[in-house]
Amino acid sequence: MRILILEDDPAIAFDLQAILEADGHEVVDSVSSLAEAYQHLDDRFDCALLDIDVIGGKSFGVAETLMERRIPFVFVSASAPSDLPQLLQRAAFVAKPFEEKVLLKTVEHAVPNLLHC
């Protein structure tokens, strides 16, 4: 799968990318701000990992745009799922600190119709 990462902590972004690539996925980009994320929404990717609190605010607008475009995404955040707006509370969610297996399984379930690498 081709995956976009929105994460403002460089160490966490690095870990996410390493985990995904070790599992055979391609990280199309790892960005740290809302502005950067919006610039990449027209890129071709199969799934996005979104931290909630990033440079420039919360990633809810990015998530809503992905929903409109039917692009799967997973929130990876220290926030609680109950902190999400009503519209996004059913989105896939991985709590930080995350376990590698939980992250990979959640990504796999978020994109059920794709053949995995």
Exposure string of 44-61, with b = 16+ CB inside 10 Å and e = fewer, is: ebbbbbbbbebeeebbbe
71-104 pLDDT per residue, tens: 999 999 999 999 999 999 999 999 999 999 999 9
Residue located via tokens 């609190």: 53
Q: In tens digits, what is the pLDDT along the chain, a chain of 117 residues?
A: 999 999 999 999 999 999 999 999 999 999 999 999 999 999 999 999 999 999 999 999 999 999 999 999 999 999 999 999 999 999 999 999 999 999 999 999 998 755 443
**pTM for the structure as a whole:** 0.93
